[in-house]
């Protein structure tokens, strides 16, 4: 794992966007997986702007979503579906045939997981995966204790995820369960980019990079990935002893 720290959220987001563009330049038919959340929003905005400016061709890429809240309509502005369409897929004019996101209203959750697993088997491995990190160390909805060998699955969200997750929703919705790619799929991504910013993420980043690798804190698995980059701003790196640039 390589750690890269940046002056601020802007600089980190800009570097993250550059990495994604670089991947697509090298492999125009890349399979890309994107997280949602407050952290990657600016990365995606910069990515869309720079791609337009530099005429980066995303038309052959295939985009998949990392996770989704279960039981909530995709029209709801708090969903991953809504987020990815708003900040990434529409701005980049990605054709719907090149997108597969988890359906949070699926009547058959097992089949929904199988659909994603089969797609990754067919089109994979995932060339580039962008993830954030939760306050409990989760990656996607791989909550503490998730099996390292897990593929796409339904997750019972823990207390921290349910509490923090309220920030994405305008209404008082029930967010008890999610659907997510599994830790095996995260670890099999050719390039894994984890981004984190802000003071509140400092203890999480400290735990992710300097403590024992364990699925009780899924973000720590990044230490074991052979091609992972952890990008943070200075605030999120502030509890680390050695700052690298
Ligand atoms: P955030 O969420 O980007 O809104 O902090 C990160 C996560 O829970 O993975």
For the segment 137-183, what is each residue's pLDDT rounded down to a tens digit? Answer: 999 999 999 999 999 999 999 999 999 999 999 999 999 999 999 99
In the prediction, which pLDDT does 245 show? 45
Of 81, 112, 127, 138, catalytic = 138
| Atom nearest to 36 CA in ligand 1 | 3
Using an 8 Å Cβ cutoff, are 24 and 58 in contact?
Answer: yes
Question: Which residues have any ligand 1 atom within 6 Å of their CB?
Answer: 37-39, 132-134
In the prediction, which pLDDT does 211 show? 83
| Atom nearest to 140 CA in ligand 1 | 9
Tell me: the pLDDT tens digits for 107-129? 999 999 999 999 999 999 999 99
Pocket test for ligand 1, best of 12, 141, 142, 164 (most atoms within 8 A of CB): 164
In the prediction, which pLDDT does 242 show? 64
Q: What is the CATH number of the domain that holds 206?
A: 3.40.50.1360
Active site residue 239: no
Percentage of residues of the chain with pLDDT beyond 90: 96
Residue 130 tokens, joined:
């962008």
Active site residue 138: yes
194: β partners:
131, 230
Q: Which ranges of the chain have pLDDT less than 50?
A: 244-245
Q: Which one, of 230, 155, 219, 166, lies nearest residue 192 by Cα?
A: 230
Of 103, 112, 127, 143, catalytic = 143
Annotate 99-135 with b (16+ C-beta within 10 A) or e (fewer). Answer: bbbbbbebeebeebbebbbeebeeebebbbbbbbbbe
**Nearest residue (CA) to ligand 1, atom 7:** 134
- Looking at the structure of the chain, the number of domains it has is 1
In the prediction, which pLDDT does 223 show? 97
In the prediction, which pLDDT does 124 show? 94
137 Cα: distance to centroid of ligand 1 (angstroms): 10
Q: Determine the structural domain holding residue 85 and report its residue range.
A: 2-244
């Amino acid at each position: 794992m390589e750690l890269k720290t940046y002056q601020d959220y802007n600089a980190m987001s800009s570097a993250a966007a550059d990495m994604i563009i670089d991947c697509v330049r090298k492999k125009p038919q890349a399979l890309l997986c994107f997280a949602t959340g407050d952290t990657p929003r600016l990365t995606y905005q910069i990515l869309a702007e720079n791609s337009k400016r530099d005429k980066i061709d995303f038309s052959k890429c295939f985009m998949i979503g990392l996770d989704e809240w279960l039981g909530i309509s995709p029209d709801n502005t708090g969903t991953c579906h809504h987020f990815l369409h708003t900040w990434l897929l529409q701005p980049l004019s990605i054709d719907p045939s090149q997108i597969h996101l988890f359906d949070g209203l699926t009547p058959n959750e097992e089949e929904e997981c199988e659909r994603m697993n089969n797609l990754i088997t067919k089109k994979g491995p995932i060339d580039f995966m962008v993830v954030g990190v939760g306050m409990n160390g989760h990656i996607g909805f791989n909550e503490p204790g998730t099996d390292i060998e897990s593929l796409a699955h339904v997750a019972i969200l823990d207390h921290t995820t349910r509490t923090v997750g309220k920030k994405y929703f305008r209404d008082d919705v029930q967010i008890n369960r999610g659907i997510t790619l599994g830790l095996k799929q995260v670890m099999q991504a050719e390039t894994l980019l984890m981004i984190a910013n802000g003071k509140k993420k400092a203890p999480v980043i400290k735990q992710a990079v300097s403590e024992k690798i364990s699925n009780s804190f899924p973000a720590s698995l990044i230490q074991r990935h052979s091609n992972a980059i952890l990008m943070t701003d200075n605030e999120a790196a502030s509890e680390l002893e050695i700052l690298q640039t």
